[in-house]
Amino acid sequence: MSAKADVIVIGAGPAGYVAAIRCAQLGLNTVCVDDWVDPQGQPVPGGTCLNVGCIPSKSLLESSERYVQALHELGDHGVIASSVSLDLERMQARKQRIVGELTQGIAQLFKANRIDWVPGRGQLLAERCVRVTDSAGGTRELSADHIILAPGSLPVQLDAVPLAAPQVVDSSGALAFTEVPRHLGIIGAGVIGLELGSVWRRLGAESVTLLEAQAEFLPMADTQTAREAQRLLRAQGLDIRLASRVVSSQSVGAKVEIRYQEGEAEHSAVFDKLIVAVGRRPNTESLAADAATLLFDEWGLIHVDEQCRTNLPGVYAIGDAVRGPMLAHKGSEEGVMVAELIAGKAAKVNYETVPSVIYTRPEVAWVGQTEQALQAVGADYRAGVFPLAASGRARAMGERDGFIKLLADRATDRLLGAHMIGPHCSELIAEAVIAMQLGGSSEDLALTMFAHPSLSESVHEAALAVDGRALHSMAKRRPR
């Protein structure tokens, strides 16, 4: 390693490793410091997303969905699968294999791009120096012209529900259960709670109870979409209890008992396992020495401007540790932007078009403004909704629940938001993202030809519905 690098990246999650790769592509001599170790104690890149986040959760969601299909749905297709059974050990091994392949892939990319990957914990010092402490406690100091901080986030813990008891786990623990819990409790009905609840319900948990402090379900989503999601997920056996704040927990033999407040009333519930999924916090404790004078906000997020510059010249911060949604793709795009800025190019992230997805069944996805946000500011808009029950492809798939909704400015027709619930909405949302990124209108989508039969046609129909002319459904929401 050269004494002084062009760039030191702290963190090799989707924000940091992407930043490092783009820096290297742009000819910058790049070092990436990361302290993640796998269950065997070996350093691995990939951060939360690859090791205990996006990838393992989607692996289990996929496997558990196949299980449910084999158990309950193939018969409708005339496919008779008798004696279907669950091999959880194999399912977990598959998940771990996928994680291993992908993290090794990042290590290969580092090598191919001549990125110096330094395992250990990095701390920002003054004057763009970084002290790295390795697992044996040894330290060394590196310096660079530019530093990119990408330390990511950690699960929020509740004082009232300590993880010390073996029955109580965070999202990482919930991805690694070796038995299906009979009665599962989840604190927090956010994205992670719903995805994990879906996995274990599908795999056979007799009850899955989600306790959510807020009175509104998925308040960040479009209200119509959130209501539909709540109805469909409840029908699958997810017992979602809103306005229910967990205040204490205690072990009772091999089980855990919690107490929660619902308005004035206090209730208790007993579970075999309890997942704490109440959000994530920036992993910024001891990231910077006092002498570095790095600015944080009151939640521990690193203070940055629109282009991820911190208060220190040449020091940038990206990903979950800065403002904005805690999403892998948002961090990766910030990583690319910062690398290009360092290389002297013009770059920015379009924060108006960050897609959000909940990988339940059906999937929920959205981008841009919600209908309630537009109403709150008195915006003049038109909405087009197309129910998937009217899609030939959705029916052929046996997935008729859900809808596609597009929102467009009444005067200019510019797309303002898209809200979807249905099969493959994690993919369908990209159509709306691209249209919005290009400054498109509902008319642009209406004039585009889509293959038949496909789910994408429903986006086309929703665009037609904005103008009250959907071809395959009766206009429920006539334009005002």
Annotate each residue in 157-176 with x if it binds ligand AMP (CB under 6 A) or - if it does not, as one string. -x------------------
Longest dimension (CA), the chain: 69
Q: Does 121 bind ligand FAD (CB under 6 A)?
A: yes
Query: Residue 111 Cβ, how far from ligand FAD at the closest point, in Å?
Result: 18
Spatial neighbors of 272 by CB under 8 A, at least 6 apart, are: 167, 181, 182, 183, 184, 254, 255, 256
Beta carbons of 302 and 295 less than 8 angstroms apart: yes
- In the complex with ligand FAD, which residue's Cβ is closer, 36 or 366? 36
Work out the angle at residue 216's Cα, subtended by the Cα atoms of residues 436 and 375, and round it to the nearest 5 degrees.
45
- Quick one: DSSP state of residue 112? H
- On the 0-12 / 13-18 / 19+ scale of CB atoms within 10 A, 96 is middle
Counting residues that bind ligand FAD (by CB under 6 A) gives 36
* The one catalytic residue among 72, 77, 267, 452: 452
- In the complex with ligand AMP, which residue's Cβ is closer, 147 or 238? 238
Q: Does 57 bind ligand FAD (CB under 6 A)?
A: yes
Q: Which does 11 bind (CB under 5 to 8 A by kind): ligand FAD, ligand AMP, none?
A: ligand FAD
- Name residues contacting ligand AMP, limited to 225-284 (CB under 6 A): 245-246, 277-279
- In the complex with ligand AMP, which residue's Cβ is closer, 359 or 381? 359
| Active-site residue flag, 267 | no
- In the complex with ligand FAD, which residue's Cβ is closer, 13 or 387? 13
Q: Which does 256 bind (CB under 5 to 8 A by kind): ligand AMP, ligand FAD, none?
A: none
- In the complex with ligand AMP, which residue's Cβ is closer, 4 or 241? 241
- In the complex with ligand AMP, which residue's Cβ is closer, 246 or 416? 246
Minimal CA–CA distance to 403: which of 363, 433, 360? 363
Q: Does 53 bind ligand FAD (CB under 6 A)?
A: yes
Residue 70 has φ and ψ, to the nearest 5°, of -65, -40
Q: Does 23 bind ligand AMP (CB under 6 A)?
A: no
- In the complex with ligand AMP, which residue's Cβ is closer, 212 or 272? 212
425/429 Cα distance (integer angstroms): 6
Beta carbons of 46 and 13 less than 8 angstroms apart: yes
- In the complex with ligand FAD, which residue's Cβ is closer, 241 or 329? 329
Using CB under 6 A, which of 7, 8, 9, 15 touches ligand FAD?
15
Q: Which does 171 bind (CB under 5 to 8 A by kind): ligand AMP, ligand FAD, none?
A: ligand FAD
Annotate each residue in 274-313 with x if it binds ligand FAD (CB under 6 A) or - if it does not, as one string. ---------x---x--------------------------
Query: Residue 161 Cβ, how far from ligand AMP at the closest point, in Å?
Result: 7
Q: Which does 33 bind (CB under 5 to 8 A by kind): ligand FAD, ligand AMP, none?
A: ligand FAD
Query: Residue 44 Cβ, how far from ligand FAD at the closest point, in Å?
Result: 8
Q: Does 53 bind ligand AMP (CB under 6 A)?
A: no
Query: Residue 36 Cβ, how far from ligand FAD at the closest point, in Å?
Result: 4
Q: Tokens 């999937």 belong to which residue?
A: 363
Q: Which does 218 bind (CB under 5 to 8 A by kind): ligand AMP, ligand FAD, none?
A: none
- Name residues contacting ligand FAD, limited to 172-211 (CB under 6 A): 192
Q: Where are the alpha helices (DSSP H) in 149-237?
A: 171-174, 191-202, 223-235
- In the complex with ligand AMP, which residue's Cβ is closer, 86 or 242? 242
Stretch that binds ligand FAD, among 10-18, 67-75, 161-169, 226-234 (CB under 6 A): 10-18
| Reduced DSSP (H G I as helix, E B as strand, rest coil) percent helix, strand, coil of the chain, to 5 | 35, 25, 40
480/474 Cα distance (integer angstroms): 16
Q: Does 320 bind ligand FAD (CB under 6 A)?
A: yes
Using CB under 6 A, which of 91, 211, 238, 466 touches ligand AMP?
211
Q: Mind giving me the DSSP string for 54-108? A: HHHHHHHHHHHHHHHIIIIIGGGGT----S----HHHHHHHHHHHHHHHHHHHHH
Q: Is the dihedral of CA 288, 289, 290, 293 positive or negative?
A: negative
Count of CA atoms in the C-beta half-sphere (13 A) of 206: 4
Query: Residue 279 Cβ, how far from ligand AMP at the closest point, in Å?
Result: 3
Angstrom CA distances, 245 to 226, 240, 324, stand at: 20, 12, 25
Residue count of the chain, please give it: 480
Q: Does 360 bind ligand FAD (CB under 6 A)?
A: no
Torsion of CA 17, 221, 307, 303, to 10 degrees: -90
- On the 0-12 / 13-18 / 19+ scale of CB atoms within 10 A, 108 is exposed
Residue 395 has φ and ψ, to the nearest 5°, of -65, -40
Q: Does 213 bind ligand AMP (CB under 6 A)?
A: yes
Residue 345 has φ and ψ, to the nearest 5°, of -95, 165
Residue 335 has φ and ψ, to the nearest 5°, of -60, -45
Angle between helices 54-68 and 88-112 (to 10 degrees): 150
Binding site for ligand AMP (CB under 6 A): 158, 187-188, 190-192, 211-214, 245-246, 277-279
Binding site for ligand FAD (CB under 6 A): 10-16, 33-36, 47-49, 52-54, 57, 121-122, 150-153, 171, 192, 283, 287, 319-320, 326-329, 331, 359
Positions marked active-site: 452
